[in-house]
Amino acid sequence: MERNINIPKEIVRSIAGATRVIALTGAGVSAESGVPTFRGEDGLWRNYRAEDLATPEAFRRDPKLVWEWYDWRRTLLAPLAPNAGHFALAEMESRFDDFTLITQNVDGLHRMAGSANLVEMHGNIWYTRCLREGDVRENRDVPLAPLPPLCTRCGGMVRPHIVWFGESLDPDILDRALFSTRQAQVFIVAGTSAMVQPAASLAGMAKQNGAIVIEVNVEPTPISGMVDASLQGSSGSVLPELLRIIDV
Ligand code: BJW
């Protein structure tokens, strides 16, 4: 749907002239593809307790229950496709010399849309990790069988290749996110409630390093007050429009 975003001219000029651009995305960017968000009215955390399903303790306590939840989410995700927001971000990669997409999303939709310079901060739901050998493997089986699934190499237990609460992010991935954030001239933050650390701090870090920060969200967030432009609307309509503005 067409809509005009209100973005100051000097900001448009800065974006168009920028070479190093970062976008950070969250669950809201996949919402228009049919992926549930975590917080908010229909969010996953309304019906499920994160402590029971998305912590290492929960997995130690009941791996089958945790895997059942992931199996359900994988089944929900399997038929879904990227939306206009994902495609606009994938297009941006060819518009700037250095464009990095940092995502908190685990659904794999950015890669499906064509984003290649991608940092998946919280892992990917389509990969498993062997608890014995750390082997990370793609697994697209829907539904999973057996449940819980086993490592195809050593037969040991595997877990979802996802960062749960209380777990540290992969240090190389975090370094990549921090490095690109510090270099950014423009930092676009889209579809995240900016509640979960360390991702929530990246926009502030970019701003401190002199970047122009642009937020895209359907509602205000804790970082809305510090950004240079807060574009209220769905990422599926605002991001393509942002791309059009850059191209003019
Ligand atoms: C739209 C839209 C549309 C809708 N268009 N917009 C410092 C201070 C306090 C606590 C901590 C801290 N450092 C670390 C912590 C602990 C914890 C944390 O941050 N807790 C907070 C909740 C307080 N962080 C961690 O544990 C992290 N680990 C870590 O830092 O290790 C070191 C450490 C540990 C412990 C203490 C100190 C240091 C790991 C975080 C892992 C997060 N994992 C999850 C779940 C994985 C499970 C799974 O997916 O299977 O990742 S949590 C969940 O939240 C998921 C998401 O990636 C993440 C972010 O959510 P997101 O993407 O923002 O989604 P929502 O739903 O919150 O928001 C959607 C937004 O979209 C909303 O704003 C809507 O308005 C908007 N929207 N439709 C545009 N169409």
Kindly report, residue by residue over 19-68, the tens digit of the pLDDT: 999 999 999 999 999 999 999 888 998 888 888 899 999 999 999 999 99
- Per-residue pLDDT for 1 more than 60? no
Q: C-alpha distances in angstroms, 142 versus 21, 59, 71, 208, 222?
A: 36, 20, 7, 44, 37
Q: Rounded to 5 degrees, what are φ and ψ at 213? A: -110, 130
> 197 C-alpha vs ligand 1 centroid, how far in Å?
6
Q: How far apart are CA 45 and CA 222, in angstroms?
A: 19
> Please, what is the average pLDDT of the chain?
95
Quick: pLDDT tens for 121-142.
999 999 999 999 999 999 999 9
Same domain, 158 and 58: yes
Question: What's the whole-number mean pLDDT along residues 164-190?
Answer: 97
| Distance between Cα 124 and ligand 1 center (Å) | 14
The residue written with tokens 């009941």 in the block is: 62
pLDDT band at 3 (very low <50, low <70, confident <90, very high): low
Residue the block writes with tokens 């690109």? 180
CATH of the domain at 204: 3.40.50.1220
| 31 shares its domain with 150 | no
**Is 225 domain-assigned?**
yes
Question: Is 110 designated active site?
Answer: no
Q: Which residue in 157, 190, 205 sits closest to 28, CA to CA?
A: 190
Give the three-class secondary structure for 222. coil
Answer yes or no: do 140 and 234 share one domain: no
Domain span holding position 186: 9-35+82-122+168-247
Residues 186 and 71 in one domain: no
Give the active site residue among 86, 110, 122, 161. 122
Give residue 11's pLDDT band: very low, low, confident or very high (50, 70, 90). Answer: confident
Higher pLDDT, 187 or 9: 187
Residues 90, 186, single domain; the answer is: yes
Ligand 1 centroid to Cα of residue 192, in Å, is 8
3 in a domain, yes or no? Answer: no
Which residues, judged by CB distance below 6 Å to any ligand atom, belong to the binding site of ligand 1?
26-28, 31-32, 37-40, 43, 54, 104, 106, 122, 162-168, 191-193, 195-198, 216-219, 221, 234-236
In a domain, 184, yes or no: yes
Query: Residue type for 48, please?
Result: Y
pLDDT of residue 164: 97
Quick one: 84 exposed, middle or buried, by C-beta within 10 A (0-12, 13-18, 19+)?
buried
Tokens of 71: 């199996």
Percent of the chain topping pLDDT 90: 87
Look at residue 248 and tell me whether its pLDDT is greater than 80.
no
CATH code at 59?
A: 3.30.1600.10
